[in-house]
Structure 1
Amino acid sequence: MLFLWCVLVLVNLVSVATGTSAGVKVRLTQKGLEYGQQIEIDSIQQKLKTIKLMDMSGTEKLDIGKVEYSITGSPMKQRDSKSFSDLPYRMQIVNLGLPKSAVGFVPGTGILLSVANAYITLRGNWRVKYLRRDTGSFDLAVNELAVSSNIEVKSDGTGHPTVSMTNCAATVGSVKVKLHGGASWLYSLFSSFMNTALHKALQKQICRSVTDSFADMNSFLKSLNAKVDQYAEIEYTMVESPVISNTMIELGFKGEFYNIGQHKEPPFSPKPFSLPSQETNMLYMGVSAFSINSASFVYHRAGALRLYITDDMIPSDSSNRLNTKTFGTFIPQIEKTYPGLMMKLLFETVKEPLITCEPNNMTIQASGMMTAFAIQSDGTLSPLFVLNLEGSVSTNIYVSGLKLAGHVTLDKIHMSLAKSYVGSFQVTSLDDIFTTVLKVAVIPKVNAQLKEGYSLPATVKMQLQKTQIQVLKDYVLIGTDVQVTA
């Protein structure tokens, strides 16, 4: 059932938000559906094994006369000898098999689940009253059982799907009863009854069990939105109608980062993109540059892309120290005005970094400021100068668990003087110092955040296997197989 949760995330919606291109696309292939089929059948089988039919009683008119009967799961000695009314005991299934099943895509609609040649063995106790009272036990074998159900997913009005079965039919091919104790004429009574009342009860319980196997899906489908950290969350509502064919389902999610509690749209929109026709893996996910850039917008807006850098963040073996003596070598006025003081740098972005995706290449362009301070003996900060920074980094992305993670390396940096409190100086003289600072202090902090990763639209009870990632034009393609965990 757990993997079919992911299947049903991709099923047709009657009402979805329109007019917005998807930030994240997910495609389930025939290979994925075939894997999910057996997991779902195993889940239904476990549900069916818990069926316990309520006690039954009634009267049948036979050739010999009127016969009063009771069928129960409890030993007869525990029942009231003067009454045939139902007690809180139930007949139980002792054997069950679903040897033949099929799950298929229904183009433009959803999923059809069918089971054939199933069998059930039921055990219970009986009692009859005709001239005298008689009791015993029975085994009921139901063969050639078939179940068929159509699964539909509708929007709840907010873009989240709700799962329901539009119909369920259970048919029984044959019923055989083996009685233990009693007279032979009882077989005609029980044969007649099993093919009527008990047949209807089984049909109802079987469809109820199939329905129960999907009962937990709605809460899961509503939980796809994922909190990333104290700054951001990802919205995975659906924004376009799915494409459903005989071999696959493809669905578009919003896939947008928002500040927690403040859903402000960024000043850019997703570009349409199409997943390539690949069927090697069970599941394909396309994560657009828009989704990644919406994260950049959110973190910049939240003030999370700012960092104070102090000398203890610089490797001890580095000759470049954050103090006025080191900087005074290049800017004498600093050492003259603030002799013997430690320094602190503030790095912050001035606008959201821009991520671009080209075939086999992802880069990030960032614009920021670096403000240098001298730390006075009382802890106050005296500004020294402000630099404009323009830089680019190369990005390597990978899947870690159920998250998309990354690692960046500095390609180039250009600095210019924005403001100075210590007179004019040649900014290029500080290239080595600030390149060191960025590489050993800023980039590691960025990589630590990227290593945490960002949740993909998946249940926590699955593992991704044989995962491959490609950077394509305007999006990243993830192809993966899936293994459901217990």
Structure 2
Amino acid sequence: MHLCCEVIMFPWWLLGFLALCPASLCTNPGITGRITQNGLEYGRQIGMAVLQQKLKSIKIPDMSGKEKVSPIGKVQYSLTQMQIVSVSLPQSAVGLSPGTGLVLSIGNAYISIKGNWHVKYLRVVKDHGSFDLSVSGLTISEGIGVSRDETGRPTVSSASCSTSIGGVKIKFHGGASWLYNLFSKFIEKALRKELSDKICPLVSEAISGLNPHLKTLNVLAKVDRYTEVEYSLVSPPVITKNYIDLDLKGEFYSIGQHREPPFTAPPFSLPEQASRMLYIGVSEFTLNSAGFVYYSAGALHINVTDDMIPKSSPLRLNTQTFGVFIPQIAQSYPNMSMKLIVQATKQPHVTMQPGNITIEVVGSISAYVIKPDSTLAPLFILDMEASASANLLISGKKLVGSVTLNGVVLSLQKSYVGPFQIRSLQTVLQLALKSAVLPKVNELLKEGFPLPTIDKMNLVNAQIQILKDYVLIGTDVNFTGGPAKARYLSSVYYHWYTSLT
């Protein structure tokens, strides 16, 4: 029963981050997570809330034995129908052991139990009654080891365990009172040994029972029809006296085809901050890997037509408007609609500096006339270098974004209508990009991509800082149901309690 006092306090959601990797697979992370003492403390509070609710429902197995008691000889005794009446857990802690792991402890616990007693002595004499049992000064210390399974998800096991019981006392009611003191010390000794022998094996069993829940870590999270992002750990966690740093791959891939980009993740480290439970650093590499995947998939293009231009705009996507800047267009194709195909010709590149995220896009703009028979006639192709600023925020458990256009530089690649001045087109094309292309881009960025989380885990009051080479997310966490009711966590730990029945 007491194993729950220890293990349940541990913030099991933290283990979703704690997987080791073979040395041959380790590389620099795209994302780094940091779990602080505040995060550990929140996990302890959840565990205590669950413990207070569930510990009373534990069923304690019946116990029986024989002892030689002077002067009446052998006494057979049994304790049955034991039930927990009250639980006091005044001291509990989850600590960090630098370079090693986690130390989970509960101290000075007190449990009150009631039950029935039966004795038989002199072969034929029987007696019975009820009793109150108190277990005091219970302490448990548990170390947890972590490893990585073949899917990149974490597995856990008990690395070490020690227990001690300060005192076990029984107060008997009913029956012949002169018997109580004769055999009570033997029963107290038997209960102490029974509890001591069972606690650590059950702790080990309970820790192994966490593994099905750890598989809810979104090691491979689908983003959209093109991409998924991988969150397996790439190196062992770094454990200090104040926090745990966790290096995640943080790389986008095409769905079903994990092709590495022609660049690698540079190293980065998080600043010393501890006010939030969890910090997540998302590097340039992660966002650039996304750009590589979308570009490789041919997804970075958009067709722009006049119905995408705001009706209030005086500039239209037709030969009349463009004829003002390139007269030969209006002369060759009077009163016709036009179509622009805007596409990237290189992978977009993201750079991060304090307070600013810049996206550089190299692409082309191909202009066509839509003829009366709906066929397209080419007009010109422009090379384009565009710069945009990005804004990021947290929505639910996703990192979402939006972009604003900083500027565009155009140059003529090919003309099908003769020579013309590019500068004259700058205004109308920049308007087309702002009013038609950027809204589509922002609509996609609004969908965002999921951050690494455990099922039922929510991010609370998340804040974002843009630093050099990465974005720092500082957040608190909670779980569906909250610490007080802890509905979800109760179901997670239920099998621990039932294992004691």
**TMscore range, shorter length:** 0.7 to 0.9
Query: For residue 355 of structure 1, what is the aligned residue in structure 2?
Result: 350
> Could you give the per-residue CA deviations for residues 400-454 of structure 1, whole angstroms, max 9, x where no partner exists?
3322222211000012222333333323222222111111111112222222222
1:305 to partner: Cα distance: 1.6
1:87 paired residue number = none
Give 1:429-448 correspondences, 5 Å limit: 429-448=424-443
Give the deviation of 1:484 after TM superposition: 4.1
The number of residue pairs the alignment matches comes to 469
Q: Contact 1:177/1:187 (CA < 8 Å) preserved in 2?
A: no
* Residue 42 in structure 1 maps to residue 35 in structure 2: no
**What is the aligned partner in structure 2 of residue 312 from structure 1?**
307
- Once residues 377 and 192 of structure 2 are traced to their aligned partners in structure 1, the CA distance between those partners, rounded to angstroms, is 87
Q: Shift of the alpha carbon at 1:133?
A: 4.4
Alpha-carbon distance between aligned partners in 1 of 2:479 and 2:75, rounded to the nearest angstrom: 53
Question: Structure 1: how far apart are the matches of 2:204 and 2:129?
Answer: 32
Aligned to 1:124: 115
Q: 1:105 aligns with which of 92, 96, 99?
A: 96
Whether the 8 Å contact between 1:289 and 1:474 is mirrored in structure 2 is yes
Q: What is the distance in 2 between the residues matched to 1:209 and 1:119?
A: 19
SS in 1 for 2:430: helix
Query: Partners of 2:184 and 2:416 in 1: how far apart?
Result: 101
Q: Which amino acid aligns with 2:170?
A: V
| Residue of structure 2 equivalent to 1:5 | 12
Query: In structure 1, which of residues 270, 273, 282 is the aligned counterpart of residue 268 of structure 2?
Result: 273
SS of the equivalent of 2:236 reads strand
Read off the aligned partner of 1:361 and give its amino acid letter: N
* Cα distance, 1:391 vs structure 2: 0.4
Give the CA deviation at 1:194. Answer: 4.0
Q: Give me the whole-angstrom Cα distance separating, in 1, the residues matched to 2:471 and 2:286.
A: 10
Residue number in structure 2 paired with 1:326: 321
Query: 1:118, 1:28 → 2: CA distance?
Result: 28
**Percent identity (aligned):** 51
1:10–1:28 contact (8 Å) kept in structure 2: no
CA deviations on 1:331-366 (whole Å, 9 max, x unpaired) are: 344344444433322222112100011222210000
Deviation at 1:12, TM superposition (A): 7.5
Q: 1:461 to 1:129 in 2, by over 3 A?
A: same
1:452 is paired with a residue whose SS is coil
Question: For the structure 1 residues 35 and 206, does the alpha-carbon distance in structure 2 shift closer, same or farther, using more than 3 Å as the test?
Answer: same
SS of equivalent residue, structure 1 residue 241: coil
State the TM-score, normalizing by the size of structure 1: 0.87
Q: In 1, Cα distance between the equivalents of 2:373 and 2:120?
A: 100
Match of 1:366 in 2: 361
1:61-72 correspondence runs (5 A): 61-63=68-70, 64-72=72-80
Cα drift, residue 191 of structure 1: 4.3
Does the 8 Å CA contact 2:397/2:459 hold for their aligned counterparts? yes
Distance (whole Å) between structure 2 residues aligned to residue 352 and residue 388 of structure 1? 15
Are residue 182 (structure 1) and residue 175 (structure 2) matched? yes
Secondary structure at the residue paired with 1:373?
A: strand
Structure 2: runs of 5 or more not aligned: 1-7, 482-501
Cα distance change on mapping 1:360 and 1:234 into 2, 3 Å:
same
Letter in 1 for 2:116: N
**1:208 paired residue number:** 202
Give the deviation of 1:270 after TM superposition: 1.1
* AA of the residue aligned to 2:133: L
Measured in 2, the distance between the counterparts of 1:430 and 1:14 equals 54
2:159 paired with 1:152:
no
Pick closer, same or farther for the CA change 1:157–1:224 going to 2, 3 Å.
closer
Q: Distance in 2 between matches of 1:169 and 1:374?
A: 80
List per-residue Cα deviations over 1:197-223 (Å, max 9, x = no partner).
Answer: 564147525762685377335543553
Give the residue type in structure 2 aligned to 1:224. V
Cα distance, 1:378 vs structure 2: 4.5
What is the match of residue 59 of structure 2? 52
Aligned to 2:286: 291
Q: d(CA) in 2 for partners of 1:100 and 1:211?
A: 24
Structure 1 contact 402–460 (Cα < 8 Å) conserved: no
Correspondence 1:140 to 2:146 = no
* Structure 1 unmatched runs, 5+: 74-90
